[in-house]
Structure 1
Amino acid sequence: MNPLNHAKRIVIKLGTGVLTSGIGNLNTARIATLCGQVNALRQRGIEVILVSSGAVGLGMGKLQLDKRPKDLATLQACAAVGQSILINNWQQGFDPHGLTVAQILLTREDLRARHRHNAVFNTVERLLANGAVPIVNENDTVSAAEIKFGDNDTLSALVASVTNADMLFILSNIPGLIDMQGTGQVVATVPAITPEIEAMAQGTKHTTSVGGMISKLSAAKIAHRAGCGVIIGSGSDPELFNKLLKGESVGTYFVPSQEPVKSHKRWIAIQDDTHGSITVDAGAVEALVKRGKSLLAAGIINCEGPFESGDVVQIHAPDAAIIAHGIVNYDMERIQAKLPELEDNVVIHRDHLVLL
């Protein structure tokens, strides 16, 4: 089965290496080709959201820097200079097709806060309904953490999850996941991301890039949990989407989860900055994982925080493995006090719990 033929909404992430030819030099011919591909997909009824890297690299070129800066202020300056160049070139690329682009700059906080998470979804929905092409990037100019540790692979997976996309394409200069320890060939299909698959990942050495295959596999995990298929492939292939529509194997296809997290729970699943943790006993683990039950106070061994009622916390098994995220109904002090009325009370309801 060709997953693209069944997709209604896709996210395409484009790395700096795809969009530029050296520091500060935008590959306008490739952008024009990509815009043509996006237009062709839209004519087939497929909604497209782009996640575009390149702002920092373009800013480096404009500011005549030959190496990626290490200090935060200069990185922010590069992003500020480069972002306007990037979005203007995207608009020029879509002009021949009569399409309007919409710039969306996000920080991790925009997806951590529930009301802002919902606002992102609503904005993208309205843009797509009005025929615009949303182009997302990290707001590196104001977000210190995203510049130092972030990558657009992860951002693209979060965007795919938030917007309920069917497919995520992570396109860079590499043709897919390469079996470096075995055949040396691109792995065509990955049913599940196992330790053996993770061992194939290698970091990047590109001057303007962040992440590499390690970040791409991390992104694939996030998308998998949301029921979104992922293809890691080459952004330099002008026929990539045509090949996929014809049923050809291109890049590495990561099969989505057959039991994806429900839409209303995805905000819980993508939280990376929880307020604390709850460790539960073996009986509670079985109830949560195998029987789909809510977490009762009686199954709690320990709490770490502090956290308040309504916060998202991690749920740990006795061996410290993280098995779930959930929204707690009580604050940490009340749970730790082991109040008699809590013993049979629901601390985290199943409707507010996501298995990881």
Structure 2
Amino acid sequence: MLNQAKRIVIKLGTGVLTSGIGNLDTARITTLCSQVSTLRQRGIEVILVSSGAVGLGMGKLKLEKRPKDLATLQACAAVGQSILINTWQKCFDPHNLTVAQILLTREDLRARHRHNAVFNTIERLLANGAVPIVNENDTVSAAEIKFGDNDTLSALVASVTNADMLFILSNIPGLIDMEGSGKVVPTVQAITPEIEAMAQGTKHTTSVGGMISKLSAAKIAHRAGCGVIIGSGSDSELFNKLLNGESVGTYFVPSEVPVKSHKRWIAIQDATHGSITVDAGAVSALVERGKSLLLAGVVACEGNFESGDVVHICEPNGKTIAHGIVNYDMERLSAELPELEDNVVVHRDHLVLL
């Protein structure tokens, strides 16, 4: 797959980039920069999602444990981010590559015009030969605008930028079958409950997430038609092995019918303005026949949405089956007015099955 890829996203965890709290592993970063340079020479565009700012700030501020209060976390990020990006540029200098810092919050991808701005900026950077280095803007991120972890951020970046592959590299070699063979699972065709049961959280001092967040990220990338490899960031030959056709880490097969590019903004929305519950007939029409949601299938509405907002579309049991851009506001739909101009509540061109 890597031989066929034109654009990839590489997410690097704090455990890969540091050798203890506050200490960047410059030798490993140097090796990673060399690998990126090799990929670039093969005609593969590379976007990096780099953790490490909070951990570096913790070291500079002499903190031994990851802070729990938001203000201290933001302070650590503010101190550490400049060190992180300067180190990347220094290590890319021997390869004559220029880095570009992009700091994002969840709100940047929720708002359509900002989502498009992120895409356009990264497109222009890649066209000009730069290496975009993305991180969460932890200095301003509050709970309601946080991604939660850089695994999720990397999957969203892969979706936004139409990447072919996402590499989530940390200090683990892949998804390990802890209840069975104890070995790395080489390939995952679908993320089933059995696969999810293999996931475990992390206990690393400076990290967030663990395998649970990586599987969640793999789901997002899968929907966008992006293949995912979860592997070890300490393997200096990882990309060479993959280019030579070797199996490394755990490969998550992308969806055979990915969400179309113009619908990806809808697909990645985590917070919507409300929900529409539909009947069994509408569920069948949406899921099995790819139809639009019509007024006749609407059972109930919740929230405070307006025409043009993204809403959850739910089965009668409350399970969300789709996101869509609604054509009418909450008040008009709730009133069940017969004089609606159009019976189409959510057009199929603006609807994404989850």
For 1:185 and 1:278, the matched residues in 2 are separated by 43
Q: Tell me the equivalent position of 2:178.
A: 180
* Secondary structure in 2 matching 1:341: coil
For 1:21 and 1:144, the matched residues in 2 are separated by 28
Indicate if the aligned counterparts of 1:11 and 1:160 stay in contact, CA closer than 8 A.
yes
Compute the displacement of 1:148 (Å): 7.0
Instruction: Determine which of 128, 131, 155 is the counterpart of 1:130.
Output: 128
Indicate if the aligned counterparts of 1:42 and 1:48 stay in contact, CA closer than 8 A.
yes
Amino acid at match of 2:254: P
Indicate if the aligned counterparts of 2:176 and 2:184 stay in contact, CA closer than 8 A.
yes
CA RMSD of aligned residues (A): 1.1
Indicate if the aligned counterparts of 1:75 and 1:147 stay in contact, CA closer than 8 A.
no
Compute the displacement of 1:341 (Å): 2.6
Indicate if the aligned counterparts of 1:297 and 1:343 stay in contact, CA closer than 8 A.
no
Q: Where in structure 2 are there 5+ consecutive unaligned residues?
A: none
* Secondary structure in 1 matching 2:289: coil
Q: What per-residue deviation string (whole Å, max 9, x for no partner) do you get for residues 147-193 of structure 1?
A: 97710000000000000000000000000000011100000000000
For 1:300 and 1:175, the matched residues in 2 are separated by 47
Q: Tell me the equivalent position of 1:37.
A: 35
For 1:147 and 1:64, the matched residues in 2 are separated by 27
Amino acid at match of 2:236: P
For 1:339 and 1:312, the matched residues in 2 are separated by 21
Instruction: Determine which of 306, 311, 332 is the counterpart of 1:308.
Output: 306
For 2:18 and 2:135, the matched residues in 1 are separated by 16
State percent identity of aligned pairs. 88
Q: Tell me the equivalent position of 2:82.
A: 84
1:37-76 correspondence to structure 2 within 5 Å: 37-76=35-74
Instruction: Determine which of 329, 334, 339 is the counterpart of 1:331.
Output: 329
1:98 and 2:96 matched:
yes
Q: What per-residue deviation string (whole Å, max 9, x for no partner) do you get for residues 39-92 of structure 1?
A: 000000000000000000000001111111111111100000000000000001
1:267 and 2:265 matched:
yes
1:245 and 2:243 matched:
yes
1:140 and 2:138 matched:
yes
Compute the displacement of 1:319 (Å): 1.5
Instruction: Report the count of equivalent residues.
Output: 354
Indicate if the aligned counterparts of 2:106 and 2:145 stay in contact, CA closer than 8 A.
no
1:175-254 correspondence to structure 2 within 5 Å: 175-254=173-252
Q: What per-residue deviation string (whole Å, max 9, x for no partner) do you get for residues 73-125 of structure 1?
A: 11100000000000000001100000000000000000000000000000000
Change (3 A) 1:75 1:147: farther
For 1:250 and 1:285, the matched residues in 2 are separated by 40
My pick for the range that moved more, 154-163 or 338-347, is 338-347
For 1:148 and 1:115, the matched residues in 2 are separated by 19
Q: Tell me the equivalent position of 1:120.
A: 118
Change (3 A) 1:249 1:351: same
Compute the displacement of 1:342 (Å): 3.4
Q: Tell me the equivalent position of 1:354.
A: 352
Change (3 A) 1:148 1:353: closer
Compute the displacement of 1:352 (Å): 0.3
Indicate if the aligned counterparts of 1:12 and 1:50 stay in contact, CA closer than 8 A.
yes
For 1:115 and 1:151, the matched residues in 2 are separated by 23
Q: What per-residue deviation string (whole Å, max 9, x for no partner) do you get for residues 311-337 of structure 1?
A: 000000112111100000000110011
Q: Under a length normalisation based on structure 2, what TM-score does the superposition of the two structures give?
A: 0.99
Amino acid at match of 2:302: E
* Secondary structure in 2 matching 1:320: coil
Indicate if the aligned counterparts of 1:10 and 1:46 stay in contact, CA closer than 8 A.
yes
Change (3 A) 1:178 1:9: same
Amino acid at match of 1:320: G
* Secondary structure in 2 matching 1:342: coil
For 2:338 and 2:30, the matched residues in 1 are separated by 66
Compute the displacement of 1:146 (Å): 7.3
Indicate if the aligned counterparts of 1:298 and 1:344 stay in contact, CA closer than 8 A.
no
* Secondary structure in 1 matching 2:195: helix
* Secondary structure in 1 matching 2:245: coil
Q: Under a length normalisation based on structure 1, what TM-score does the superposition of the two structures give?
A: 0.98
Indicate if the aligned counterparts of 2:147 and 2:153 stay in contact, CA closer than 8 A.
no
Instruction: Determine which of 4, 9, 12 is the counterpart of 2:7.
Output: 9
For 1:15 and 1:338, the matched residues in 2 are separated by 50
Amino acid at match of 1:156: S
Indicate if the aligned counterparts of 1:35 and 1:93 stay in contact, CA closer than 8 A.
yes
Kindly report structure 1 stretches of 4+ aligned residues shifted beyond 4 Å. Answer: 146-149
Q: What per-residue deviation string (whole Å, max 9, x for no partner) do you get for residues 257-290 of structure 1?
A: 0000000000000000011000000000011111
Indicate if the aligned counterparts of 1:140 and 1:147 stay in contact, CA closer than 8 A.
no
* Secondary structure in 2 matching 1:319: coil
Instruction: Determine which of 165, 168, 173 is the counterpart of 1:167.
Output: 165
Change (3 A) 1:165 1:314: same
Q: Where in structure 1 are there 5+ consecutive unaligned residues?
A: none
Q: Tell me the equivalent position of 2:297.
A: 299
